[in-house]
Amino acid sequence: MKKPLILVTNDDGITAPGLRNLVNFMAEIGDVVVVAPDSPQSGMGHAITIDNTLYVKQMKINSLPNLQQEYSCSGTPADCVKLALQEILDRKPDICVSGINHGSNSSINVIYSGTMSAAIEAGIEGVPAIGFSLCDFSWEANFKAAKKHIITIVSEALTNGIPKGVVLNVNIPKLEEKEIKGVKICRQARANWKEKFDKRTNPMGKDYYWLTGEFELLDKGEDTDEWALSQGYISVVPTQFDLTAHHAIHHINNWNLNEH
């Protein structure tokens, strides 16, 4: 049987250890093409490049039997997927996997995530997609601890399909392999960031700011991604890119919008 074609991307850059590990994992189950940013793009969300040129460079970082091609891109994670699907690949990939991100993309973090935006861009184009993140910001993080689970999740998605309009957001706790209890299908926890800005002054007397903040969990449910991660499980949240608040349509229909 023909091996599945797997598009791999991320937001930490093409040389990031998380991506290099994901490439190795995916090469065990399919033919891999990599299109990833040439520099870190964390927190870019779904930004796309519309007022500048984009450059793509073919590279050779790994030598793996099923690694077909690798390209670095000067744009954002969403740009990488757009270029991969429209210009680089000669056929539609069977799945797009994004990551493994250095740091959590659970709960509200999904809104800001370049990792998940790359996966969502693939989903918008009709390609089944999964974003993977490890709750460890370290460059030397243990990405191999969840290898078997990552391969299982991707294999199951290839076999069973992902519902149309849905992208999977997978987060992995910072644990050793033997400590990971399994996988939980979850909902996104309600939370937000309590932002703070560290104001400083440069030697020229001009003020500047560093964004800091604290994560505030507002959800005590035991069916959320945050709960699953805290209990030692990998969380899988089916995420949709239709942002319509369907439950609010009836309420807003009661407004007198056409009587003024």
Binding-site residues for a divalent metal cation sit at 11-12, 42, 101
Contacts of 151 (CB under 8 A, 6+ apart): 25, 28, 29
Binding-site residue set: 11-12, 42, 101
Q: Kindly give, in sequence order, each residue whose CB lies less than 8 Å from that of residue 182, ignoring residues fewer than 6 positions away.
A: 149, 233, 234
Strands 95-102 and 5-9: parallel
- Give CA–CA dist 225/223, Å, rounded: 7
191 token code pair: 């939370």
- The residues with which 8 forms a beta bridge, in sequence order, are 34, 97
- Distance, in Å, from the CA atom of 223 to the CA atom of 9, rounded to the nearest integer, reads 29
Residues 4, 30 contacting (CB under 8 angstroms): yes
How many angstroms separate the CA atoms of 143 and 46, rounded? 25
121 φ, ψ (degrees, to nearest 5): -60, -40
> Which residues touch 161 (CB under 8 Å, ≥6 apart)?
128
Please say whether the beta carbons of 115 and 148 come within 8 A: no
* Helical ranges in the chain per DSSP H: 17-26, 77-83, 114-124, 147-160, 225-230, 249-253
